[in-house]
Amino acid sequence: MLRQYRMFAAYNRWANAQLYAAAAALSDAEFRSDRGAFFGSLHRTLNHLMVADRIWMKRFTGIGEAPTTLDAVLFEEFDALAAARRTEDERIIAWTGTLDEATLAGNFTYMPVTQQIAMTQPLWTALSHLFNHQTHHRGQCHMTLTALGKPSLGLDLIYFLRSEGREWM
């Protein structure tokens, strides 16, 4: 499982880079335009992904900021958000590099943002959620870009594995 999670961390960075490159070509109005995604705009959806990653990484590591709402806008400006995304992706990669099988198999307890009750589950399931959540909302970002008339992005894991992710093959 360790190799799989390390691959997902690398894939996550790659897919985010593709998405942010496409978003960088948008006008500010397009970036902020509500196109019906769960968080509305690309701006708010990318901020939500940052919020969720910071919440989970704070839970996993005990270090860093943890926003208190899932719809917080941490960055109004695209450039600041993009820089924070790159930093967070590197943080996730570095942290997955410290894991071992025993830690992954162990229980993990945290408090959800939406309910103040202790939740306990195996760490590997929470880490699976982190990566699945990223993929889910990147799909919404993809939908937002296509709704804006922009080209479709090839974000499938297999495209990563056939290009920058060959080390995982």
* pLDDT of the chain, 169 residues: tens digit per residue: 999 999 999 999 999 999 999 999 999 999 999 998 999 999 999 999 999 999 999 999 999 989 999 999 999 999 999 999 999 999 999 999 999 999 999 999 999 999 889 999 999 999 999 999 999 999 999 999 999 999 989 999 999 999 999 999 9
Residues in a beta bridge with 88: none
Residue 99: its pLDDT value, please?
A: 97
Task: Please indicate if the annotation marks 136 as binding a ligand.
Answer: no
Supply the pLDDT for residue 139: 94
Which domain covers residue 138, as residue numbers?
1-168
Q: Which of 152, 155, 126, 161 is nearest to 138 (CA)?
A: 155
> Alpha-carbon distance 25 to 150, whole Å?
10
43 is in an annotated binding site: no
Structure tokens, 147: 């709704």
Cα distance between residue 161 and residue 138, in whole Å: 18
Q: To which H or E segment does residue 39 belong?
A: none
Tokens of 43: 């701006």
**Rounded Cα gap, residues 28 and 164, in angstroms:** 30
Total of domains in the chain: 1
Give the pLDDT of residue 36.
Answer: 87
Is there a binding annotation on residue 48? yes
User: b/e per residue, 152-163, with b = 16+ CB within 10 A?
Assistant: ebebeeebbbee
Q: Quick check: pTM over 0.85?
A: yes
Q: What is the CATH number of the domain that holds 57?
A: 1.20.120.450
